[in-house]
Structure 1
Amino acid sequence: MIRSLRGRLFLGLTAIIILTGATGGLLVYRWAFREAAELQDSVLIQLASLAQNGSFSSGRPLLGVEEDTDVWLIELGATPRGPADDRQLFGLKDGLQVVMRKGQPIRLLLRTRPDGSRFAVAQPTAVRDDTAREMAFRTLLPISALIPCLMLVTAIVVAHSLRPMVRLAGNLDARRADDLTPLPQAGTPSELHPFIHSINGLLVRVGLLVDQQRRFVADAAHELRTPITALSLQAENLGSVDLPEEARGRVAALKQGMQRTKHLLEQLLALARYEAAPAERGEMPLIALDSAVKQVVADLLPQALDRGIDLGFQLVEPHMVRGEPVMLATMVRNLLDNALRLTPRAGRIDIGIYRQDEAAILQIEDTGPGIASPDLERIFEPFFRGSSPEGDGSGLGLSIVKRVVEGLAGEIALENITGSDRSGLRVTVRLPLAADRPNEVSGAA
């Protein structure tokens, strides 16, 4: 069963063309065959008129007539004589008729001269039929050539007619997941308007549902932050209390859990703030990417030193990009947090900032275990921590990074570093370069 609308239209129209062409060809063939037969009869009549004066010799092909037509003049005389076949012909009436002569059917025209003598102009029906068929087939050639041309034109027309639907599908496929703007109806066929209207209605309902979920997440994270902070303070206060060793271990686990919950709430709030009202890229301020990254590195350097991790720059070039300072700093911090969490002690994290074509590149390489290949496709999904999660990550960091990069019209790619002497993860962020206008330059918050 063909599920393609294009295939159904093409096959349906092709079947109509072939059926119509076959029916028309059959009718044209029969008409051309009859016309060819009548034309050959008119030739016999004209030759008979010329034979009235007796200038043609009996029993021989007529002069001036092509030999392959096999037309003969038969003199029957004034009285029946000669072979039995000729005597039989003498008894027939004047006119066109088909008779048997010498064991084969012939088409002949009998005539009587004023002096009473009779003659016949004859032609074998097999020759006549061959000539008629040849002429009829020649008539069919234009139709036979027209059918493939019509099929090609049909395919082009069907493809052109469905092109607005293909463009509409391409428009939807090219959109970001959070782009819920209505589909335009201008320039689309009227048959698609009900479909577009339904899709736009669905987009509105989905937008309302997404907004409700965002508000719920933001409100829940905001409401939970106060009690979590209070619990964290209470847990910190327990550190000064003289407790048994077993209780101190439980308090340490409680602090770690509270810290992880607090980090999760901060990530949820950051995501909610960014999705609530993402700014247009052209309205964003200019930011020195190198300065923003240096500030985040300075904040995280004590944490790296505590773990003996060599955190530093391999290459730093000054480049300007457009973006919200808070979200850009959040993106860099999440990437470095992820690298610090996965890099073992005495490891290394190298940062590079440079230009490639018309993009500013931020590249971060660590010496951790990398990401399992099956997880690379899903690593940007919210709350996905991979098949072998390590540390106290929430699974939101890379998801926030992905959304920030997309909001800045950039791209991000992750790849594992494999080699005989090292392993790790390489993160490459491409951001469009912006013109350097000092009066608009902002630092990272």
Structure 2
Amino acid sequence: MTPSLRGRLFVGLTAMVAVTCAAAGFFAFRYAFDEAIEMQDATLTQIAALAIDGRFETKMTPAAPGNGVDAENRLVIEELGRRSDNAAAGGLLLTLDDGLRDVARGRERWRVLIRTRADGSRVMVGQPTSVREEIATASAFHTVVPLLLLVPLMLLVTAILVRQSLRPMTSIAETLDTRRADDLEELALDGVPQELRPFIASINRLLRRIQVMVERQRRFMADAAHELRTPITALTLQAENLDQVVLSQESAERLDALKQGARRTSRLLEQLLTLARHDFDPAVPAAVVELDRCARNVVADLLPESAEKGIDLGFDEIQPCRIDAEPLMIEILIRNILDNALRHTPRGGKIDISVQCGRDGATLTVEDTGPGIPPEDLDRIFEPFFRGTRHQGEGSGLGLSIVKRIVDNLGGVVTVQNVASAGATGLRATVRMPAVIS
């Protein structure tokens, strides 16, 4: 899986921050450590300066806390005597020159400062190097801690900056995702960062090319459907005129197949013309339509067909409801849904229609007792010319596609779902549209 641009930026900036902070922390630690060692050397120098003015026992004596020296630091002062004295009194230290140096005393390493008084006596101020390094390490660590605490804050700021910098791209993606499939309007360049302008300009050029291609396709479909309408109508009339002629059984069967094919072709052409008309002029005139009356008119037209198929077609509930739409488009919407239900409901089945009106809008519901739709087909049921994996009848696959376009243009929502109750199956189509509240 290819990582996202946001992820790449965040990982790259995080790595850069981590490496930079690690390097800065290392050098800050070393600098603070060396400074602490030098400060402790300065402390030894100051204590030695005080020790020259006084006399101490020859054994190792801790520096007096009253002099401002912490006893835990294990600072000691030792009288070494004179170089002319027996070396055993001062041991190796007595032979060393004045100054700072590291020496081994027992199992420990010591940092010592040796000074000689005016009378020739010598004094040593010393401290174990392990204690010095512990103090220096603690001091250096305290210096690095703020930098370590700053790293999470820097990573948080980095994440916020990356997110804010990529927000215009996210906004553009959300805008495109929420658009209708037939909305090919160009993207606005207002407020778009300079770096994204070439990208948006390329998208707009692509949208213009797609719009030209779609317009050509729509015009071709409309022209082809219109040109084919007249010969298909004439063919249908001629086929119906042959009903007056006495034909053999085989010829009658062929004639029935011819009439069935002609009806199907005529129905397909009508759907294509409706789709083309809606595509070329999708604007809905400002007219108030009674949805319940349109539903009654369509049901009245389809009652003979439902009675012939033995299907109980009727209203489960109908309420007065007015919507702002074109009457012809609403009747086409209702007819296409009912045609789909009649085509798939078996003999003896039932189709219930419901028209409801409320503050949240108008709702048209058509529920049948057919076999329903395979779950894998539900996402594609509104695609043009899609007839499903187990299609049957004379459907062209355009009916529900036209319904979807009409409902989208009205600002509504259409859903289709399988229903099951008491061992029976069926399909429920629900259309919700804005209503005119008087």
Q: Aligned pair 1:77/2:81, yes or no?
A: yes
Residue 439 of structure 1 corresponds to which residue in structure 2? none
Q: Aligned pair 1:63/2:64, yes or no?
A: yes
Residue 267 of structure 2 corresponds to which residue in structure 1? 263
CA separation of 1:421 and 1:130: change in aligned 2, threshold 3 A: closer
User: How far off its partner does 1:349 sit?
Assistant: 1.5
1:384 maps to a residue whose letter is: F
Residue 190 of structure 2 corresponds to which residue in structure 1? 186
SS in 2 for 1:377: helix
Q: Aligned pair 1:210/2:214, yes or no?
A: yes
Query: Within 1, Cα distance between the matches of 2:89 and 2:274?
Result: 113
SS in 1 for 2:209: helix
Residue 52 of structure 1 corresponds to which residue in structure 2? 52
Residue 303 of structure 2 corresponds to which residue in structure 1? 301
1:410 to 393, 409, 412: 412
Query: Within 2, Cα distance between the matches of 1:79 and 1:192?
Result: 83
Query: Within 1, Cα distance between the matches of 2:165 and 2:214?
Result: 35
2:252 to 248, 251, 264: 248
Question: Which stretch of the first structure deviates more once superposed, 342-351 or 309-318?
Answer: 342-351
User: How far off its partner does 1:225 sit?
Assistant: 0.4
Contact 1:366 1:426 in 2 (8 A): yes
Query: Within 2, Cα distance between the matches of 1:104 and 1:371?
Result: 88
Aligned residues, how many? 434
User: How far off its partner does 1:114 sit?
Assistant: 1.7
User: How far off its partner does 1:308 sit?
Assistant: 3.0
SS in 2 for 1:162: helix
Query: Within 2, Cα distance between the matches of 1:224 and 1:83?
Result: 127
User: How far off its partner does 1:370 sit?
Assistant: 2.0
2:427 maps to a residue whose letter is: L
What are the Cα deviations for residues 362-396 of structure 1, in whole angstroms up to 9, with x where unaligned? 01112222222222222111111112222211111
User: How far off its partner does 1:284 sit?
Assistant: 3.3
Residue 98 of structure 1 corresponds to which residue in structure 2? 102
What are the Cα deviations for residues 384-440 of structure 1, in whole angstroms up to 9, with x where unaligned? 11122222111111111111111111111112221235322111111112233xxxx
Query: Within 2, Cα distance between the matches of 1:312 and 1:340?
Result: 12
Query: Within 2, Cα distance between the matches of 1:159 and 1:222?
Result: 53
2:213 maps to a residue whose letter is: L
Structure 1 unaligned blocks of 5 or more: 437-445
User: How far off its partner does 1:183 sit?
Assistant: 0.8
Give runs of aligned pairs for residues 3-22 of structure 1, distance below 5 A. 3-22=3-22
Residue 198 of structure 1 corresponds to which residue in structure 2? 202
Residue 115 of structure 2 corresponds to which residue in structure 1? 111
Give runs of aligned pairs for residues 121-132 of structure 1, distance below 5 A. 121-132=125-136
CA separation of 1:390 and 1:79: change in aligned 2, threshold 3 A: closer
Contact 1:362 1:428 in 2 (8 A): yes
Residue 388 of structure 2 corresponds to which residue in structure 1? 386
1:172 maps to a residue whose letter is: L
CA separation of 1:163 and 1:317: change in aligned 2, threshold 3 A: same
Residue 222 of structure 1 corresponds to which residue in structure 2? 226
Question: Which stretch of the first structure deviates more once superposed, 304-313 or 254-263?
Answer: 304-313
TM-score (normalizing by structure 1): 0.94
Query: Within 1, Cα distance between the matches of 2:86 and 2:200?
Result: 91
RMSD: 1.7
1:31 maps to a residue whose letter is: Y
Q: Aligned pair 1:361/2:363, yes or no?
A: yes
2:137 maps to a residue whose letter is: R
Query: Within 2, Cα distance between the matches of 1:137 and 1:288?
Result: 81
Query: Within 2, Cα distance between the matches of 1:415 and 1:101?
Result: 91
1:27 maps to a residue whose letter is: F
CA separation of 1:207 and 1:48: change in aligned 2, threshold 3 A: same
Deviating beyond 3 angstroms after TM superposition, the runs of 4 or more aligned structure 1 residues are: 55-58, 79-85
Identity score, percent = 51
Query: Within 2, Cα distance between the matches of 1:37 and 1:5?
Result: 48
What are the Cα deviations for residues 328-348 of structure 1, in whole angstroms up to 9, with x where unaligned? 110001111111222223322
SS in 2 for 1:74: strand
What are the Cα deviations for residues 48-82 of structure 1, in whole angstroms up to 9, with x where unaligned? 11112215444210112222111111101124546
User: How far off its partner does 1:304 sit?
Assistant: 2.0
Query: Within 1, Cα distance between the matches of 2:245 and 2:83?
Result: 152
Contact 2:416 2:428 in 1 (8 A): yes
Question: Which stretch of the first structure deviates more once superposed, 270-279 or 233-242?
Answer: 233-242
SS in 1 for 2:214: helix
1:422 maps to a residue whose letter is: A
